[in-house]
Structure 1
C-alpha cells in the first residue's frame, strides 16, 4: 500500500521523500540506535550548562529605571527579592510590526511558550519581559493574549547597554545584597528554545539547583524532584510533601537502575 506522499508523486506532484516503512522490530532497532545519540546530546547539554555556571560575571554599576504597573522600579526591584533575574527584551512599541494591537510575532511566540513562572520563583528566580511600550498598552496586550509574566517598560539605555536595542535577547542577572551582576546573555536562535522551566534555569548561574548537577562548591542544591510542586501549591520554606518524596524516590531508583543497566 502506498503512502499519501507516494500517491502525490503519481498525480504529477513532487513526491515527499519519506523514510522507509518497516516492521515493529526494525522500527524499535532504529529508535534504540538514535537514542544513543539523543542521550549523548542530553549529557552534552548538561555539561554545557555546567560550564555556563562557571562563566565570569560582570558587575552592573549603572542605575536603570523601568515603569511597572505600580510606577517606577529599578533593576534591583525587578528581582522581587530573589537572587536571580531573567530579562527578555520583547519588541512591543511604535514601529514594530503589529503595533498597537500586537507585539512582534517572534516575541509573541516566545511569550506564548513561557511556562508557569511559579516554578522559576521556587528556584529563587524571577522572569521579566521588557519593552518600550507604555504600561497601559502592555496591560492591554497581556489581557488580550492571556500572558501573566511580569512586563515592564524600558525608559533609558538598558536595552542598548545589554545588546537588545535592535533585536530580541535574554539577559541573566544575579543579585548579591546590593550588588548586581550580569552572568549570561543569549539571542537570535539561542532564544528559540526558551520558555520551559528547565531551559530558563539552565542559563542561570545557579542552574536547576539539584544534587546531580555539576556546580561549583557551595552552590545551593537540593534533592532531585523533591522541590517540584503544583504551581498553586508552592510555599516558601515549606518541607517537601512526604507522599511526593516517596513517589519521587521510587522514580529516581528506577532511573538509576536503568542507567546502571546501560553501563553494563
Structure 2
C-alpha cells in the first residue's frame, strides 16, 4: 500500500457568500476605487513622460548573434529602446541550464514584440553570458526577444550591475538619451505591451493621453493589429476603423 499524497488544504476564513445583487453592489463599490487607481496610474505615466532626459555620451558595445553592436545599433532603427538586464551568467543559480528564476519569469511574460515595434519601440535583454549560451537558452525556453551579451560597464553605469533592472532610452538621430529606470518590484509588472509603453517617454502614443505638445499620438484602438499584420507606414485598416468606431459609440451610449 502506498502512502496517500492527498493533502487537505487548511480552512480559509472566506468572505461572506451573498446574493448576485449584493455581489454586484459590492463590485460597483470596489470599481470606484479601481477606476481611481487607473486614473492615478495614467497621471503617473503622464508625469513620467515629462521627466528630464540625460545624454548618453559614452560608447558601449554588445555581442549579438550577428557580431558586435553599439547601443545605437540596439535601437534597430526605431526611436525608443528598452533594455532589461537579465541575470544569466556563471554564478547565477541555475547556470548554465537556466537564467535567474525571477528574470526567467519576466522573460516568460514578454508579449509579442510586434506591438511594441509598431510604436517605434525596441525591447532587448542583455546578460553577461556568451552568445552561444544565450541562443541555447532562448531555443530551450522559446523566447523570441533580442538578447545581447554585455562586454563593458554598461550594467554598472546604469544601475544594474548587482541586480536586475530596466532602462529606457530615446534617440534623436544618433544622439541617445536615458529617460527612465526601474528595478526591484518595479520590474514585476513588466512584460505586457501597455506596461512597457507606459515607461517610455512617448507613452502609448494615443490621443487620450496627457502628453507634452507635439508628441506623436493617434486614436486609441485604431493602430492595434494582429501581430503578423503590421506593415510599416501603412494606413490603419479601413474595416477595423469602422468596427472600432461603432464599438466606441456603443460604449459611450451605454454609459449615458
Common fold, TM-score beyond 0.5?
A: yes
Q: Matches of 1:211 and 1:105 in 2, distance apart?
A: 38
Measured in 2, the distance between the counterparts of 1:45 and 1:210 equals 15
**Count of aligned pairs between the two proteins:** 249
Residue 19 (structure 1) shift: 0.5
Are residue 26 (structure 1) and residue 12 (structure 2) matched? Answer: no
Deviation at 1:255, TM superposition (A): 3.3
Which residue in the other structure is 1:200 paired with?
196
For 2:119 and 2:215, the matched residues in 1 are separated by 12
Give the structure 1 partner of residue 127 of structure 2. Answer: 131
TM-score (norm 2): 0.95
Residue 174 of structure 1: aligned partner: 170
Deviation at 1:251, TM superposition (A): 1.9
Equivalent residue, structure 2, for 1:105: 101
Q: Give the Cα separation in 2 of the matches to 1:188 and 1:80.
A: 27
The answer on 1:212 being equivalent to 2:208 is yes
Q: C-alpha offsets along residues 158-191 of structure 1, whole Å, 9 cap, x if unaligned?
A: 0000000100000000000110000000000000
The alpha carbon displacement at 1:244 in A equals 0.4
Indicate the SS of the match to 1:192: helix
Please give the alpha-carbon distance, in whole angstroms, between the structure 1 residues aligned to 2:220 and 2:143.
Answer: 29
> Is 1:52 the equivalent of 2:48?
yes
Output the TM-score relative to the length of structure 1: 0.92
For 1:230 and 1:157, the matched residues in 2 are separated by 38
Structure 1 spans left out of the alignment, 5+ residues: 1-7
Mapped partners of 1:153, 1:24: distance in 2: 55
Q: What is the CA-CA distance between 1:106 and the residue it aligns to?
A: 0.1
1:191 aligned partner: 187
Q: After superposition, where does 1:1-264 map in structure 2 within 5 Å?
A: 15-258=11-254, 261=256
Offset from partner CA, 1:60-81 (integer Å, 9 cap, x none): 0000000000000000000000
CA displacement at 1:253 relative to structure 2:
1.9
**RMSD value, Cα:** 1.1
